[in-house]
A and B are shown apart, each in its own frame.
Chain A
Amino acid sequence: MAERKVLAGARRRASHPRASPSRIALLTTLGLLLAVLAGAGSYFLPVFVTATQQTNKAPAPIASAAPPPPPGSPFTILLLGSDNDAKFPKDKVLTQSMILIRVNPGTHAVTMLSIPRDLWVPLSTGHSAKIDLAYQEGGAAAAMATVAANFKVKIDDYAWIGLKGLVQLIDRLGGVDVVTTNPVLDDFYPADLAGGDPYGYQRVAVLAGPQHLDGLHALEYVRSRHNDIREDFGRSERQQQVLLAIRARTAGLGLADLPDLATTFSGEFQTSLSLERIREILPIAREFNPAGVHQVFLPPPYTSGLTIEGQDALQPNWDLILPLVHQSFP
């Protein structure tokens, strides 16, 4: 009987041999690694979801024609902003804002060219119209191709943001500090975000001077267009101001901020940039001096008003525009 108990004990020890110290160390290390990965993975999950859905959205014709620039070399991005409210079907929106940005990481030189939305040009979709129609007819690919063909520039990537995306981004950053140049008053500002009627109006009064703007008021400042003596050029200037103010607020952002931004951008942002490329570009944004940014606009004599097909549009003077643009954009 006693002998049987001893044998049974020996069998148990054989089936559950004591783990060696090295095996315990290995298992512990693996466990720690797994725990760290699980924590980090959960944290960055929104980034992965956004990366899958909203980044690396390279329009096919451009992607095949333009390999990404090597790290550290100058690059050009087309920023697109749209009224993606209820007036338009999803993905069939006009681009109210088109800003071409050239960044030279080596010299920290940045040039921002605002392209008037009313510019009458041949679209890549096969007919002539205002340039803001290109995105509606053919998405980012058409917008990039139209700008590239008319301005004779090479565009590496695009980034598109919707109205709510801009509001949410600025709110997530805690607002932006801006010196508004003059009182921006508008009696016919679209009440599409605040009210239920996408065709309704509201009044806007963004008063002049230094101030802290939340997302909604920053949007009013950059979107208002009815009472500006400089018409769309004034609005372009305001858009560049707020863009630089956003850059100032994002200068301190790091990797840990990406999930917040990814959540903010949910459905309101698309880009051809890969996540890896965004990670490369973020530090560059920190390094350049906003005061040194070269801001380019195309008021008369670069453009002149015309009425065509019943629409008020802008006629480009390419003899003046192209030399100006090619000073900064290859």
Chain B
Amino acid sequence: MSRGPFTVLALALAVLAIVVYLGLGSLRHTTAVPVKRPDTIRASMAVVGTMYLTQNGGLYRLEGDRFTELQPAGGGWTQPVVSPDHASLAIVKRAANWSDVFLIDRLGRPIRQLTHDQGTDVVTDHWAFYPSFSEDGTSIYYDFDSPKEGYRVDMSIWSLSLAAGDTRRWTVPTQYTGGDSRPLELGPRKLLFTEYALQPDGHIRSQVLLQLGQFGFSHALTKPEDDCSQPAFSPDGSRVALICTGGGQVGRLLVATFDGTNLSPLEVLVDHQLCAAPAWQPDGQALAYLAPAGPSGRFQLWRLSTEKVARLGSLQPRQLTSSLDFDATSRIAWFQP
């Protein structure tokens, strides 16, 4: 027998060894799924109005089914919110040890830096998170970690006048819990926020509180055992969407009607899904939210009709994106230009 067939056989066996190696590799589950940039994909359906979302520190706008990158990834941009006149957005820019609130225009271009929280060390650095506009748009409310002392660092709710720049503290948080978060002004001197507090069962739970006036009387809109947060009001202010975890590791999306003082019993819209960041469609007929999808566990954009007729029918939450990685601790800013 000549050497030719042996060479061919040896090559074939080497190829087989490589095929076995690669074949085993293809059975892996640990390989992280690559994340795409939002502006490289299209949403599975067109949305009403304009949405702003953040992913990996970048700011993106969704109009119809197309995303546009307004600020590139890695910039620390998060938690956008649209001003009442829809002319600008307040947004957080987060650095390693501090964060600041900025005003930006609808194209994502910075107009003004509203807070200056970079100090000289970890003691003088500060965090500012979750800005929201007052109803008249003349000031913003936000989480701010002042005062802090020693190891204690908790968020209080503060306001900042956009014209004069003067600040005012509104709440006194429960110490060593992370404090108060996500303020929303519901009218003059009427402030809604999420409080984190230690409960008698030894766990820290969140409750949505309504406070009247600076350091004023507050009453709870939700029960501690429901562990609710992230309230989002419908455009007409009559309904509120909430994320409630019941102290567990599964989120639920719920809605209730709001009479200006109290909530009706909570109604579950989505169960057994790690929902976050609910936002109302500008006409109030649907909700968008973020939740993991697929094997990656990364948060995608979902939409759910809130109309009773639709929900009693066959409509289910619809996944609008895949292969993205939206920041679930951020917010969806959604409005009709």
A residues whose Cβ falls under 8 Å from a Cβ of B? 16, 18-19, 28, 31-32, 34-36, 38-40, 42-44, 171-179, 181-188, 201-203, 205, 207-212, 226-230, 233-234, 237, 241, 244-245, 249, 252-257, 260-261, 290-291, 299
Q: Is B178 an interface residue (CB 8 A)?
A: yes
- Contact yes or no, A179 B152, CB < 8 A: no
Nearest CB on B from A45, distance (A): 10
- Contact yes or no, A36 B125, CB < 8 A: no
Q: Is B280 an interface residue (CB 8 A)?
A: no
Residues of B within 8 A of A210 (CB): 243, 245, 251, 274-276, 291, 328
Nearest CB on A from B330, distance (A): 9
- Contact yes or no, B16 A171, CB < 8 A: no
Q: Is B113 an interface residue (CB 8 A)?
A: no
Which residue of A is nearest B151, CB measured? A226
Q: Is B14 an interface residue (CB 8 A)?
A: yes
Residues of A within 8 A of B154 (CB): 185, 227
Q: Which of B58-66, B69-77, B158-166, B202-210 is found at the contact surface with chain A?
A: B202-210
Residues of B within 8 A of A28 (CB): 9
- Contact yes or no, A207 B151, CB < 8 A: no
| Given contacts A178-B249, A208-B229, A249-B297, A42 and B21 within 8 Å (CB-CB) | yes
Can you list 13 contacts pairing A with B, beta carbon distance less than 8 Å?
A: A38-B20, A42-B17, A173-B30, A174-B296, A185-B153, A185-B154, A201-B122, A203-B125, A208-B196, A209-B243, A233-B202, A253-B29, A254-B27
Residues of A within 8 A of B206 (CB): 181-182, 208
Q: Is B181 an interface residue (CB 8 A)?
A: yes
- Contact yes or no, B299 A176, CB < 8 A: no
Nearest CB on A from B266, distance (A): 17
Q: How far is the CA of A227 from the CA of B155 in the complex (A)?
A: 12
Nearest CB on B from A22, distance (A): 16
Contact among B204, B247, B299 for A211, CB-based, below 8 A? B299
Q: Is B309 an interface residue (CB 8 A)?
A: no
For chain B, the count of residues having a C-beta within 8 Å of the partner chain is 75
| Given contacts A179-B249, A183-B196, A174 and B177 within 8 Å (CB-CB) | no
Q: Is B298 an interface residue (CB 8 A)?
A: yes
Q: How far is the CA of A188 from the CA of B23 in the complex (A)?
A: 47
Q: How far is the CA of A244 from the CA of B249 in the complex (A)?
A: 10
Residues of B within 8 A of A291 (CB): 248
- Contact yes or no, B24 A230, CB < 8 A: no
Nearest CB on A from B38, distance (A): 16
- Contact yes or no, B1 A19, CB < 8 A: yes
Q: How far is the CA of A209 from the CA of B30 in the complex (A)?
A: 25
Nearest CB on A from B92, distance (A): 10
Which residue of B is nearest A38, CB measured? B17
- Contact yes or no, B17 A182, CB < 8 A: no
- Contact yes or no, A183 B179, CB < 8 A: yes
In chain B, positions 247-263 with a C-beta closer than 8 Å to chain A are 247-251
- Contact yes or no, A261 B328, CB < 8 A: no
- Contact yes or no, A39 B29, CB < 8 A: no
Residues of B within 8 A of A260 (CB): 28, 30-31
Q: Is B329 an interface residue (CB 8 A)?
A: yes
In chain B, positions 176-202 with a C-beta closer than 8 Å to chain A are 176-179, 181, 194, 196, 198, 202
Q: How far is the CA of A144 from the CA of B33 in the complex (A)?
A: 38
Residues of B within 8 A of A176 (CB): 297
Q: How far is the CA of A48 from the CA of B24 in the complex (A)?
A: 16
- Contact yes or no, B17 A257, CB < 8 A: no
Residues of A within 8 A of B196 (CB): 181-183, 208
Residues of A within 8 A of B181 (CB): 183, 207-208
Residues of B within 8 A of A290 (CB): 249
- Contact yes or no, B297 A174, CB < 8 A: yes
Q: How far is the CA of A230 from the CA of B229 in the complex (A)?
A: 21
Residues of A within 8 A of B125 (CB): 187, 203
Nearest CB on A from B136, distance (A): 28
- Contact yes or no, A252 B249, CB < 8 A: no
Residues of A within 8 A of B27 (CB): 254-256
Residues of A within 8 A of B198 (CB): 229-230
- Contact yes or no, A187 B19, CB < 8 A: no
